[in-house]
Amino acid sequence: MVYIVDAGATVWRRGDRRKALSTWGGMGLFVLVSSSFSVVEIWRIVDWPLAVSPWFLCMVLAMAADLGQEAVRAEKTARALRESEEQVMLAVEATHLGVWGMTPPSERIQGTAEWMNQSGFAAGEEVSLGRMLERVHPDDREKVRQALQRLREEGLECNLEYRVLLADGAQRWVATWGRRRADARGKSVRVFGMAADITERKRLDLEIAEQRNELSHLSRVATVSELSGSLAHELSQPLAIILTNAQAAQRMLAREPSDLDEVRAILADIAGQVQRGSGAIRRLRSLLKPGETRSLPLDLNELVEEVLLFTRNERILLGVTTRRELAANPPPVLGDRIQLQQVIINIILNGLDAMAANPPADRQLTVATSFSAGAVRISVSDNGCGLPPDAEQIFQPFFSTKPSGLGLGLSISRSIVQAHQGRLWAEARTAPEGPSEGGMPAGATIHLELPAAAEGS
């Protein structure tokens, strides 16, 4: 009876109520019939031999049929699971992924042969969490430890990249993904995950970054050649003032008595012009200097002012009117100062070239900054010749509207911006008053958008 009640209740909870009723009904019927016959025989209502065995045998057969069906179903399920597991392992092996797992509170890690190899262990070697962390590079060890702790205790999914130190002194990059299986109370039952060797990908990323830096440097050299006239003026003007002031100071010192106050003022002016000239040289050296990309918090308003100082004489020679529409206190962005300066200089020089055919009074450049939704944007607008029908063309390598242009400036600029996790795109400028006098088009706007830096970064 206990078996019947328990079996029926189990099947009922599993949701198969029809089977539960047939289990209860079939077995209960034989128990009821055998009990009834026993009673009437004991009370001698009928004069038959007392025989419960045939009815009990029927009940056993009913139980056997039910158990047999469950056994067949379990075997089919086990076979399907084995096939599924073989297919999964085949896929894992084909992709060279390592599988690892850990059952809290034990810190013993079980892993496939691929994972053992990735982590620098021999096949069949016993691995604990502590031993695994010892193989992690010291600079990444705390990051990995905290991620695994949060995975075990809070169930936060683990997704990180770290370096592994091998026995021969070499290092390997590994990417791992992990998750937790918990019971109804939220307690960890199993922690498991997968890992991949990404050493080759990291090496290629490094090569691409080096090539991008070299290409960026060559582009800056080409940009400086375009600014050569402006830079010559930037240096020749303070040198001429210094010479004039020095000659005036010599004449004053030759007088009797000498006007020392006037000489001091001249020397102060000379010092100021020297600082001006040295500042121009320093800016030029910073643009020409090659080096690795360094991401630091930058104020885009400050960056815009620096670039406008770079291109001041170019704008003056063309008679361009420059408007600044800078947002108040935009959040900083993470980036390389020199490379982002290069991008903005390139955008401004393209805008100046686009307005070269305009009448001098119809050359206006607007530089604006804004921020919203976690991003900071620089927009450079001109009222020049506009964009081709497909605005994306201007970012294609070797596409140029200038007779002597190589068509690499904006292509390199976009690759720099994408490396900073940002966007660079162009839009046709729309002016409410329509085209300017003389039938000139409204021009174009180039947008540079970068993600705002997180607090504390």
Distance CA(298)–CA(295), nearest Å, equals 9
pLDDT by residue (tens digit) across 125-181? 888 888 888 889 999 989 988 888 888 888 778 888 999 988 888 889 999 988 888
Separation in Å, CA 179 to CA 104, 144, 160, 252: 13, 14, 12, 83
- Segment holding 445, helix H or strand E: strand 444-451
End-to-end CA separation in angstroms for the chain: 69
Looking at CATH, the fold of the domain delimited by 294-457 is given as: Heat Shock Protein 90 (3.30.565)
- 370 falls in which pLDDT band (50, 70, 90)? very high
Give the pLDDT confidence score for residue 362 in this predicted structure: 85
pLDDT exceeds 90 at position 448? yes
For residue 96, how many other CB atoms are within 10 A of its CB?
12
Which range has the worst mean pLDDT, 21-35, 62-76, 188-202, 271-285?
Answer: 271-285
Q: What number is the average pLDDT over the span 104-128?
A: 84
Q: What percent of the chain has pLDDT over 90?
A: 10
pLDDT classification of 431: cutoffs 50, 70, 90: low
- Edge-to-edge strands of the sheet including 97-102? 127-128, 108-111, 97-102, 188-197, 171-182, 158-165
Average pLDDT over residues 256-265: 72
Q: What's the CA gap between 258 and 247, in Å, rounded?
A: 14
| Orientation angle between helical segments 260-288 and 300-310, nearest 10 degrees | 110
The amino acid sitting at 135 is R
DSSP string, 13-35: HTT-HHHHHHHHHHHHHHHHHHH
Alpha-carbon distance 1 to 5, whole Å? 6
> For residue 316, what are its two tokens?
């003056």
User: Strands 188-197, 97-102: parallel, antiparallel or unpaired by DSSP?
Assistant: antiparallel
What H or E segment, with its residue span, contains residue 432? Answer: none
pLDDT in tens, 90-111: 766 666 788 888 887 888 888 8
In the predicted model, is pLDDT for residue 258 greater than 50? Answer: yes
Over range 305-316, report the average pLDDT: 80
Q: What is the mean pLDDT of residues 384-388?
A: 84
User: Average pLDDT for residues 376-404, to the nearest whole number?
Assistant: 80
Q: What is the mean pLDDT of residues 348-356?
A: 86
The 10s digit of each residue's pLDDT in 79-93 is: 888 887 777 777 666
Class in CATH terms, 203-292: mainly alpha
| The pLDDT of residue 234 | 57
**Ranges 34-38, 253-257, 369-373: which has the least confidence:** 253-257
Q: What is the pLDDT of residues 287-298, one digit of tens each?
A: 555 555 577 899
Predicted pLDDT of residue 325 = 92
In the predicted structure, residue 424 carries a pLDDT above the cut 80: yes
**Mean pLDDT, residues 382-399 taken together:** 81
Ramachandran sector of residue 229 (left: φ over 0; alpha: ψ -120 to 50; beta: rest):
alpha
- pLDDT at residue number 436: 44
pTM of the model: 0.49
pLDDT of residue 216: 62
Is the Cα torsion angle 326, 327, 329, 334 positive or negative in sign? negative
pLDDT bucket at 187, cuts 50 / 70 / 90: confident
Of residues 340 and 272, the one with the higher pLDDT is 340
- C-beta separation of 329 from 337 below 8 A: no
Rounded Cα gap, residues 190 and 183, in angstroms: 9
Question: What class, spelled out in words, does domain 95-197 have in CATH?
Answer: alpha beta
Mean pLDDT over all residues of the chain? 78
